[in-house]
Amino acid sequence: MSRATLDKDPHEVASMFDAVARRYDLTNTVMSLGQDRFWRRATRAALKIGPGDKVLDLAAGTAVSTVELAASGAWCVAADFSVGMLAAGAGRHVPKVAGDATRLPFGDDVFDAVTISFGLRNVADHGAALREMARVTRPGGRLVVCEFSTPTNTLFATVYKEYLMQALPRIARAVSSNPDAYVYLAESIRAWPDQAELARRIGDAGWGQVRWRNLSGGIVALHAATKPK
């Protein structure tokens, strides 16, 4: 059984995702009550990409997020350091690259847009990942971070925290190949910064015009930013 701890040792994180890879897409859809498709479509729309754009989907896992982006007509590459996750997405026909978010195997200023969905929270040094994403993006290029966040309604936030800590691990036991990984998921969502704090950290990493939009009442937030010219 493989379960990363909150210090997010990169080897533990990669092997935990290797272990859940086979049933990752199904588990995601069940546990998000089908909302994941809506969140992915909103991410694509926020990135404002289209034919002719070169797009990096970082921490792309099984490339489920990448194929949604590619539906825009942009050229999209999936990058992830879990070879098991990339292999589980072998049937998805987008280019795939194995690489660490904190040391990206790409040159400077090569992408028109970069994005990371449900990945930044798992990167041990997320400041380094945000700086790397800025390095590989051209001046004027765009960033969208799609990540779990803090529900805006306090009553709902309380119910949601109960769901995370009680129901989610139980549902995971029924559908996932590695339920312990979903205990890590619940803990990592609770420990993650809220919308305003994440916006501050994105700005600190060198991005400009940082703003966010809540989805599903703040269960998820889309943070968007632009690389200064």
Ligand X SMILES: C[S@@+](CC[C@H](N)C(=O)[O-])C[C@H]1O[C@@H](n2cnc3c(N)ncnc32)[C@H](O)[C@@H]1O
Does 60 participate in binding ligand X (rule CB under 6 A)? yes
Does 17 participate in binding ligand X (rule CB under 6 A)? yes
Residue closer to ligand X (CB basis): 2 or 208:
2
> Do 205 and 131 touch, CB atoms closer than 8 A?
yes
Residue closer to ligand X (CB basis): 81 or 111:
81
Give the shortest CB-110-to-ligand X separation in angstroms.
17
Does 69 participate in binding ligand X (rule CB under 6 A)? no
Instruction: Report d(CA 229, CA 157) in Å as an integer.
Output: 38
Amino acid at 143: L
Does 119 participate in binding ligand X (rule CB under 6 A)? yes
Does 123 participate in binding ligand X (rule CB under 6 A)? yes
Scanning 116-124, 153-161, 173-181, 202-210 for contacts with ligand X by CB under 6 A, the matching segment is: 116-124
Where do we find the tokens 């994403």?
133
Does 101 participate in binding ligand X (rule CB under 6 A)? yes
Where do we find the tokens 């028109």?
112
Instruction: List the end-to-end C-alpha distance of the chain, in Å, as a whole number.
Output: 47
Scanning 61-69, 105-113, 195-203, 212-220 for contacts with ligand X by CB under 6 A, the matching segment is: 61-69
Long-range contacts of 52-57 (CB under 8 A, 24+ apart): 53/112, 53/113, 54/110, 54/111, 54/112, 54/113, 55/111, 55/112, 55/113, 55/114, 55/115, 56/104, 56/106, 56/111, 56/113, 56/114, 56/115, 56/133, 56/136, 56/137, 57/115, 57/116, 57/117
Scanning 45-53, 76-84, 173-181, 194-202 for contacts with ligand X by CB under 6 A, the matching segment is: 76-84
Residue closer to ligand X (CB basis): 8 or 52:
8
Where along the sequence are the contacts to ligand X (CB under 6 A)?
A: 10, 13-14, 17, 28, 59-61, 64-65, 80-82, 85, 100-102, 117-119, 122-123
